[in-house]
Amino acid sequence: MTAPPHPDLPLLPGETRLLRGADEQRALGAELARALPPGAVLFLEGELGAGKTTLTGGLVGALDFADAVTSPTYALMHVYPTPAGRVLHVDAYRVRDPQELYEMDLEDLIAGSRLSVIEWGEGLYGDYPAAPILRLEHVEGDPEVRRVGRVR
């Protein structure tokens, strides 16, 4: 399993950015949508409520998906059809063993997607070594501000 290279992402490994509010989170998602090549996998990590799904909403919206993007926590995955191709949005928070996702044909779903965004996917990092990982965090003292950093 490989992901295409991604040299033009808006954040370099080790770089962080402060995002003030949901609009800036969605704007970063839109930047990512323009920078990630077709077939890319993107991992998002961070505590509950850090903005992973909001950022994904901006990403999917930039690919002309007009409906709401919601967390797939209980469904495990949502598929968003866009004119550029489908976007796979996976939330592996409740998955105890990554093998469960592969039994759901995750590899085939990723292979056929324009983009795959995986939240809480730590167990899959080794399978997609070229995939960027972004970490979103609450900033203490301001409930509207998030820090986003690129882990790899």
With a cut of 80, say whether residue 6 has pLDDT above it: no
d(CA 55, CA 59): 6
**Residue that is written with structure tokens 């991604």 in the block:** 6
With a cut of 80, say whether residue 8 has pLDDT above it: no
Structure tokens at 151: 């882990």
- Mean pLDDT computed over 92-107: 84
With a cut of 60, say whether residue 68 has pLDDT above it: yes
- Mean pLDDT score across all residues of the chain: 91
pLDDT at 3: 47
- Mean pLDDT computed over 57-71: 94
Handedness of CA 48, 54, 59, 64 (dihedral sign): positive
With a cut of 80, say whether residue 134 has pLDDT above it: yes
**Fold of domain 16-150:** Rossmann fold (3.40.50)
With a cut of 50, say whether residue 4 has pLDDT above it: no
E-assigned strand segments in 1-152: 16-20, 40-45, 77-80, 87-91, 115-119, 133-139, 142-150
